[in-house]
Amino acid sequence: MIEAFRAFARYIARTIGWNWLGFVLSLAIITAAAVVLYRILRGIELNEVLEAVKSTEIRDIVFAGLFVAAGYFTLTFYDLFALRTIGAGNIPYRVAALAGFTSYSVGHNVGASVFTGGAVRYRIYSAWGLSAIDVAKLCFVAGLTFWLGNVAVLGLGIAYEPQAATAIDQLPPWINRAIALLMLAVLAGYVGWVWTKSRTVGRSNWEVTLPGGRLTLVQISIGIVDLSCCALAMFVLLPDDPHIDFIKLAVIFVSATLLGFASHSPGGLGVFDAAMLVALIEFDKEELLAGLLLFRVLYYVIPFALSLMVLGLRELWLGVLARRV
């Protein structure tokens, strides 16, 4: 089976190219989202959306903001964990927090987060002696934390409530539950694989020793907390009526986020929103749009503005120090 996958991968790389395939997939997702958004939003009254935004309780916005802050705080541990994994334990938490917060907020908003976030990380960590290869290793470990968290949240959530995934993929609940159980089995298999002995991936200078079993559980926990905080922020911004179970919302939210991520659209703009609107069809469209707009302001706009300000002040300070020398 593994050889068959490898042969298929070589065939794709030789005949189509992974970059071209990724571009086509992104374009297809964005196009489908644009069509869905047009059909859903063509009857929307903008005044009603703005009125729904104004009528949102300040308490809910504050709670959502706190959950967003908790999510970004958790993101800083992606970098801290990755630094310890690649052997750069001398770099203090404050630097990891700066790099984690700014790289993710910039990557979320600009798009192509692997490159944009990596560039921000390199600018910060290079001052502490990390090379481009070191930063690439760090990004790999941080990305692994992200994906392990996603697999855990979706696997557990869909296994418990498969109808939530049906709202996104339109598959029967029993198929979604079977997929979820398979995801959890793969996750358990990976944990068992790294638990038995030290595992190394990559070659030459690109080698990365994967975290062991106990540290992998820490990795998964970091990802789960991060995604849960983000989903809670969206949860409190939803209309009170009709009521929706948090686990259902978490599954829909994470699935929509991954679709936005796959599209490489800045902030998943259009794709994330279309998926949420389709999956949460029971909500009033204007009120749901108001919640999505507020979430974007809290999770994307404000952190992005703060990141640009922090990075700008850091560059000014570095410039001042360079002139003194």
CA distance 114 to 68: 21
292-296: Cβ within 8 A, 24+ apart: 293/49, 293/53, 294/53, 294/56, 294/61, 294/64, 294/237, 295/64, 295/233, 295/234, 295/237, 296/267
Specify the pLDDT at position 3: 45
Helix (H) or strand (E) holding 288: helix 285-296
- In the block, which residue shows the tokens 């994994």? 85
pLDDT score, position 316: 85
- CA 254 vs CA 53, 149, 249, 267, 281: distances in Å: 23, 10, 8, 14, 17
Enumerate the β-bridge partners of residue 201. Answer: 208
- For residue 240, what is the DSSP state? S
**Domain limits, the chain:** 2-324
Q: What is the pLDDT of residue 312?
A: 86
Look at residue 107 in the predicted model and tell me its pLDDT.
82
b/e code 98-125 from CB counts within 10 Å (16+ = b) = bbbbbbbbbbbbbbebeebbbebbbbbb
* Inter-helix orientation angle 246-263/271-279, to 10°: 150
Tens-binned pLDDT, residue by residue, of the chain (325 aa): 344 444 544 544 455 554 554 445 555 555 654 555 555 555 566 677 778 788 889 999 999 999 999 999 999 999 999 999 888 889 999 999 999 999 988 887 776 677 788 888 988 898 888 988 899 999 999 989 989 999 999 999 999 999 999 988 888 999 999 999 999 999 999 999 999 888 888 777 778 888 888 889 999 999 999 999 999 999 999 988 888 999 999 999 999 888 877 766 666 677 788 888 888 888 888 888 899 989 988 998 889 899 989 988 888 887 777 677 5
Q: Name the residue among 33, 103, 27 with its Cα closest to residue 272.
A: 33
